[in-house]
Chain A
C-alpha cells in the first residue's frame, strides 16, 4: 500500500498531506486535520452525514479517496462560520428548530450551501432534491426545509 502526496485546500487553507491509498476524504478531514464537524454515519453513501463541498459540488466524503482529489477545494461545516459569527444558514437552522440531535446537521448544512451557492432562489422541490441524500431521524425534515427556505430569503436580501 503506497502513500500519496496531495495538496488540498480546505476552508480556504492550503494543506500538503501524505495520505494512504485507502484513506477517504472523510478520514483525512477528521483524523489528519481534526475537522470533526463532518460526521461519519453509514460509511456507504446513503446517509449524507459526511457531506462536504468538493469543487462546488456536494459529495459524500466517505465515497471519495483523498488521493483522488489532489488540487481540489473543499468546504466543510467549519468553513461556514466567519469572524466568530454564525452563517445565515446556521442561524436559520437554529431559528427554525431544524436541529434536534444534531448529527445530520453538518451534512444538511453542506447540501443546503451547495444548493444556495448555485441557486439562491430555490423552490421547495429543489430544496428537497438537494437534501434527498441527507437522512435525519429526529426532525421529520419539515423544519430543515423551512430553515433552508428562510436562509434563501435572507440570502436574497
Chain B
C-alpha cells in the first residue's frame, strides 16, 4: 500500500532539513515520473513515508549564464531549456534534446534535475550533458559537493545521490573557441517518444584540427557512457579528413563492446552507426567542409 505524508517546501534550506531529519523521503518536482509510478501503484513507492514537493522552490528555477559557464537549476523545465535563446544560438544540441522530450505538456512540467536524478537509460538530456562534460551540484545540510555526471550515474535508474542530498544545479563550461555540436535521434514516432536511440556530438577545433571530441550515445547502453575510444581517435586529426561512415562504424562497435550481442543489436548496430555518421556529417558541413 502506498501511504505517505505530503510535505511542501519553498526553500532549499527547508528541503535539506526534511531530508536530514526524516527517513524514506521521495522527492517530487514536475511529477512526470512520480505520477506514473503512483498510477501504476509501483512497489517502489510503498517504502516511501514522505513525499517532498520541491516544485515551489524559486531559487532552483534559474538558468545562469556567465562568460564561460552555464548553471541550470534543478527545477528548470525542458520547455525553458528549449526556448532559452542562449542555448538555441550557442548550445543548439542541448535545446534540440530538450525539444525531443515527451510532449509540450510533459516539457512544461518535467525538469532537468528530475531527468538527471531519475537516470533513465533513455533520458534525452544525458547525451548532450555528458558531451558538455557537465557536473551536478549536490547539497545537504552538511556539505555541498560537485560530481561529474558520469560519476553521478551508478546504473539504470540509479545515481550516487545520498539520502540527505538535493540536486541543486547542473553546470558546464561553455566550450572555448570554435566548436560545433549536433544531436540526432530515432524515436518510434515524432511526438511523445521515449528515445529508442539518440546521440550527441560536440567537437572543438583549432585551425581545422580537432582539439576535443565528445561523442555520447543515449539509450544505446545501460547508462549513458561517452565513447572514449572515438574521442581519442579524433583528437589531433583534421576535421576535413574525417570519414563520417568510419566514425559510425566505430560508434556501433563501441556500443556492442559494452552491451554484448543482445536481441536488439541487429537493429541498434546499423541505427547507431547512421546516427553517428549523420552527426559527424552535419558538424563537418557546419564547419564548412562539404561532403
Contact = CB atoms under 8 A, between A and B. Distances in A.
B105 A21 contact: no
A82 interface: no
Interface residues of A, number: 31
Interface stretch (A9-17, A42-50, A144-152): A42-50
A106 interface: no
A48 B105 contact: yes
A64 interface: yes
A35 interface: no
A60 B104 CA distance: 10
Contact of B38 (A22, A54, A68): A22
Contacts of A2: 5-6
Interface stretch (B28-36, B136-144, B207-215): B28-36
Nearest to B7: A2
Nearest to B51: A21
Contacts of A60: 105-106, 109
Interface in A36-81: 43-46, 48, 51, 54, 57-60, 62-65, 67-68, 70
B106 A63 contact: yes
A104 interface: no
B191 A65 contact: no
A115 B110 CA distance: 18
B10 to A, nearest CB: 10
A111 interface: yes
B32 A63 contact: yes
A123 B61 CA distance: 29
B103 A68 contact: no
Contacts of A70: 8
A112 to B, nearest CB: 11
Instruction: Select the residue from A45, A58, A114, A134 with max chain B CB neighbours within 10 A.
Output: A45
Contacts of A114: 104
A111 B6 contact: no
Given A132-B192, A133-B192, A111 B104 contact: yes
Given A59-B105, A60-B106, A65-B31, A1 B5 contact: yes
B106 A133 contact: yes
B108 interface: yes
Contact of A133 (B2, B55, B105): B105
Nearest to A65: B31
Given A1-B4, A64-B109, A132 B191 contact: yes
Nearest to B5: A2
A132 to B, nearest CB: 3
A77 B31 CA distance: 23
Interface string B101-117: 01111101100000000
B109 A59 contact: yes
A35 to B, nearest CB: 18
Given A57-B108, A59-B105, A45 B35 contact: yes
A32 interface: no
A136 to B, nearest CB: 12
Interface of A: 1-2, 4, 21-22, 24, 43-46, 48, 51, 54, 57-60, 62-65, 67-68, 70, 111, 114, 129-130, 132-134
Nearest 7 A/B pairs, CB to CB: A133-B103, A132-B191, A21-B6, A57-B108, A133-B105, A60-B105, A63-B35
26 contacts: A21-B4, A22-B2, A22-B38, A24-B35, A44-B36, A45-B35, A45-B36, A48-B105, A51-B105, A54-B108, A58-B104, A59-B109, A62-B39, A63-B30, A63-B32, A65-B53, A67-B8, A68-B28, A68-B55, A70-B8, A111-B104, A114-B104, A132-B103, A133-B106, A133-B192, A134-B103
Given A63-B109, A68-B55, 10 more contacts: A1-B4, A44-B39, A45-B32, A45-B103, A45-B105, A63-B30, A63-B31, A67-B6, A68-B8, A133-B192
